[in-house]
Amino acid sequence: MEKIILDCDPGHDDAIAILLAAGNPGIELLGITTVAGNNTIENVTRNAQAVCQVAGIDVPIARGASVPLVTPQIVSEDIHGDGGLDGPVLPEVTGELDPRHAIDLIIDTVLAHPPKTVTLVPVGPFTNIALAMRKEPAIIERVKQVIVMGGSYTRGNVTPSAEYNLYVDPEAAEAVFRADWPVTMVGLDLTHQALATPELQDRVRAVGEAAGDMEISQFILDIWGFIGKTYEEVFEFPAPPVHDACCVAALIDPLVMATEPAHVAVELHGQWTKGMTVVNFADRPGMHHSTGVAAELQDHRTLVATELDWPRFADLVVDAVARLTAARSA
Q: Is 254 helix (H, G, I), strand (E, B) or coil?
A: helix
Q: What is the CA radius of gyration of the chain?
A: 19
Cβ neighbourhood burial of 225 (10 Å; 0-12, 13-18, 19+): middle
We find the least distance from the C-beta atom of residue 18 to ligand BDR, in angstroms, to be 12
We find the least distance from the C-beta atom of residue 310 to ligand BDR, in angstroms, to be 18
Q: Which is nearer to ligand BDR, 130 or 149 (CB)?
A: 149
Task: Provide the pairing of β-strand 145-149 with 183-186.
Answer: parallel
Contact call for residue 14 and ligand BDR (CB under 6 A): yes
Contact call for residue 244 and ligand BDR (CB under 6 A): yes
We find the least distance from the C-beta atom of residue 285 to Ca ion, in angstroms, to be 34
We find the least distance from the C-beta atom of residue 159 to Ca ion, in angstroms, to be 18
Pick the binder of Ca ion from 23, 83, 122, 124 (CB under 5 A).
Answer: 124
Question: Strand 302-308's sheet: what is its strand order?
Answer: 61-63, 27-34, 2-8, 118-122, 145-149, 183-186, 302-308, 257-266, 277-281
We find the least distance from the C-beta atom of residue 214 to ligand BDR, in angstroms, to be 25
**Which does residue 157 touch among ligand BDR, Ca ion, none (CB within 5 to 8 A, set by kind)?**
ligand BDR
Q: How many binding residues for Ca ion (CB under 5 A)?
A: 6
Task: Provide the pairing of β-strand 145-149 with 118-122.
Answer: parallel
Contact call for residue 38 and ligand BDR (CB under 6 A): yes
Pick the binder of ligand BDR from 123, 266, 276, 305 (CB under 6 A).
Answer: 123
C-alpha 330/C-alpha 326 separation (Å) is: 6
Q: Read off the DSSP letter of residue 162.
A: B
Contact call for residue 170 and Ca ion (CB under 5 A): no
Contact call for residue 243 and ligand BDR (CB under 6 A): yes
Segment 209 to 268, residues that bind Ca ion, using CB under 5 A: 244
Q: Which is nearer to ligand BDR, 123 or 196 (CB)?
A: 123
Task: Provide the pairing of β-strand 145-149 with 277-281.
Answer: unpaired
Contact call for residue 14 and Ca ion (CB under 5 A): yes
Contact call for residue 148 and Ca ion (CB under 5 A): no
Residues 12, 80, 101, 243: which is the catalytic one? 243
Whether the bond into 11 is cis, omega within 30 of 0: yes
Pick the binder of Ca ion from 2, 6, 11, 18 (CB under 5 A).
Answer: 11
Pick the binder of ligand BDR from 128, 157, 161, 217 (CB under 6 A).
Answer: 157
- How many CA atoms does the CB half-sphere of 170 hold within 13 Å? 20
Q: Which residues pair with 279 in a beta bridge?
A: 264
Q: Which residues pair with 258 in a beta bridge?
A: 307
Q: Which is nearer to Ca ion, 14 or 169 (CB)?
A: 14
**Which does residue 164 touch among ligand BDR, Ca ion, none (CB within 5 to 8 A, set by kind)?**
ligand BDR
C-alpha 80/C-alpha 243 separation (Å) is: 13
C-alpha 235/C-alpha 216 separation (Å) is: 27
Q: Could you confirm whether 243 is annotated as catalytic?
A: yes
C-alpha 50/C-alpha 280 separation (Å) is: 40
We find the least distance from the C-beta atom of residue 12 to Ca ion, in angstroms, to be 9
Terminal Cα-to-Cα distance of the chain (whole angstroms): 22
At residue 197, what is the residue type? Answer: T
Segment 49 to 88, residues that bind ligand BDR, using CB under 6 A: 76, 79
Q: Which residues does the annotation mark as catalytic?
A: 243
What is the contact surface with Ca ion in residues (CB under 5 A)?
A: 9, 11, 14, 123-124, 244
What is the contact surface with ligand BDR in residues (CB under 6 A)?
A: 11, 13-14, 38, 76, 79, 123-124, 149, 157, 163-165, 243-244
